[in-house]
Amino acid sequence: MKLKKIACHQIVFEDHSIQSMAVVELEDGFVTRCYPLEGEQPQTEWLSGTIKLQRDNQGLMKAFYNGKELK
């Protein structure tokens, strides 16, 4: 199991709602959790800009940054 935490300026959800200054947690390439960024987070990568969330053909949530899937 590969767990990754990525913070960014904003997350755009499927319904086009936006969460500013947030963290996306990925487990084996799938989004498991999103939450507001509250202070510095250990072992968290920072990406400037926007992460977009989108479901794949099987209904699993994935994250994309600059058009590329985050894994």
Q: Is the pLDDT of residue 49 over 90?
A: yes
Only one residue has tokens 């200054």, namely 21
Mean pLDDT of the chain: 96
CA torsion angle 1 30 8 36 (round to 10) = -90
Burial-class residue 20 by CB neighbours within 10 Å (0-12, 13-18, 19+): exposed
Cβ pair 49, 19 in contact under 8 A: no
Q: Would you state the pLDDT for residue 40?
A: 87
Q: Does domain 3-69 have CATH number 3.30.70.380?
A: no
Q: Please give the model's pTM, rounded to 2 decimal places.
A: 0.91
Judged against a pLDDT cut of 90, whether residue 41 lies above it is answered with no
Side-chain-facing half-sphere of 58: CA atoms under 13 Å: 3
